Amino acid sequence: MEERNASEGIGRGFRKAILVNEHFVVYGVPAIAVPIFSPVEVTAVVRQGAGLQVSVPARSGGDGRAEEDRDRLEAVRRIVRTIGLSERERMIRIRCVDDLPGWSGLGSSAGFCVALVRALFMALNRPCTDEEVNRIAYEGEKVFAANPSGIDNTVATYGSPLWFERGGSPAWEWVRPGLPLWLVIGNSRMPCRTRDEVAKVARFRRARPDLFAGLLRDAAALGRDARRALEEGDAAGLGSLMNQGHSMLKRLGVSNERLDEMVAACRLHGALGAKLTGGGGGGCMLALAADASSGAAVVSGLKRLGHPAICVHLPLSGGRLRARDTS
């Protein structure tokens, strides 16, 4: 039975895959990211009373127990405060459905934050623009990444391929791919924390400032070349640039033996390019395939190594896919 005096809202936020320049984007270098059309969904119930409850029922082979993660709980509290709610004055229940638990590097935390903001505004029957959703979600994303660039929550909000430049004016622009993308995502099955890898890069920058400055210049050129290849439909060129991107991330120290093995396996099985995606140190890697059959071959190669993998298709479209249109 529906709780008396309770209101409910449902929100969704996209995951993302970064094609080039994760980590470098934190330092103002442009990066390109695309949405992964499997959104995180959050249900929020607000009623009279006091308290805050957050549950994440396990899925995709999980054990079915609800979990309360400290980072997630703190992100919820920041977002609740930013919106103007108080858990001392209202009872707030949050339920998250994430069908890729443990697949870190895909922006699930940002997708959660965006979905939560939308769910809370719906529950409160208050209007909210995408710009406001993005701004508030960024406050929650700070818990997970410490110094987030803003790219994850922006893609999670707008659901479109983006060129993102922290501190730029504007900070982001739509990107119109000139080719459909077949992206293989492989899971290293190694947990990672984005903020730990961000801190590792910061230490690298302090220890080797000249080398880091050179990498930033190379990354900026790489980003421009990758955008050109993507918009002109040059799949082979984009794949080669993704390979270069992985080499640069290795120099930062955010890759590891397992991720390198997975990247090599993808290339061996026909991928046009492959790299880690997200924070690194574990989590996921990303490969670009020429078509569906090539993507299936790359997925099979990863699975033979014992790594879960999927192939996602981003169709050739200049339009924007809104989270509410996907279930």
pLDDT of residue 325: 32
Closest among 155, 266, 273, 267 to 225, alpha carbons compared: 273
Angle in degrees, 0-180, between the axes of helices 108-123 and 151-158, rounded to the nearest 10:
50
Share of the chain above pLDDT 90, in %: 77
pLDDT of residue 6: 82
pLDDT at 303 over 80: yes
Q: Where are the domains of the chain?
A: 7-174, 181-314
Mean pLDDT score across all residues of the chain:
89
pLDDT (tens digit, 9 = 90+) per residue, 119-150? 999 999 999 999 999 999 999 999 988 788 99
Q: What is the largest CA-CA distance in the chain?
A: 64
CATH class of 181-314: alpha beta
Active site residue 260: no
Q: Which of 69, 71, 98, 152 is catalytic?
A: 152
**Shared fold status for 7-174 and 181-314:** no
CATH of the domain spanning 7-174: 3.30.230.10
CA atoms within 13 A on the CB side of 71: 14
Q: Which residues, 6+ apart, have CB-to-CB distance to 316 below 8 Å? A: 177, 178, 179, 180
pLDDT (tens digit, 9 = 90+) per residue, 1-28? 345 578 999 999 999 999 999 999 999 9
Please report which confidence band the pLDDT of residue 60 belongs to, taking 50, 70 and 90 as the band edges: very low
Q: Which residues, 6+ apart, have CB-to-CB distance to 171 below 8 Å? A: 150, 154, 164, 165
Report the run of H or E that residue 135 belongs to, with start and end. Answer: helix 130-145
pLDDT at 286 over 80: yes
pLDDT at 323 over 50: no
Contact 10, 122 (CB under 8 A): yes
Q: What is the pTM of this model?
A: 0.88
Q: In terms of C-beta density within 10 A (0-12 exposed, 13-18 middle, 19 or more buried), how is residue 171 classed?
A: middle
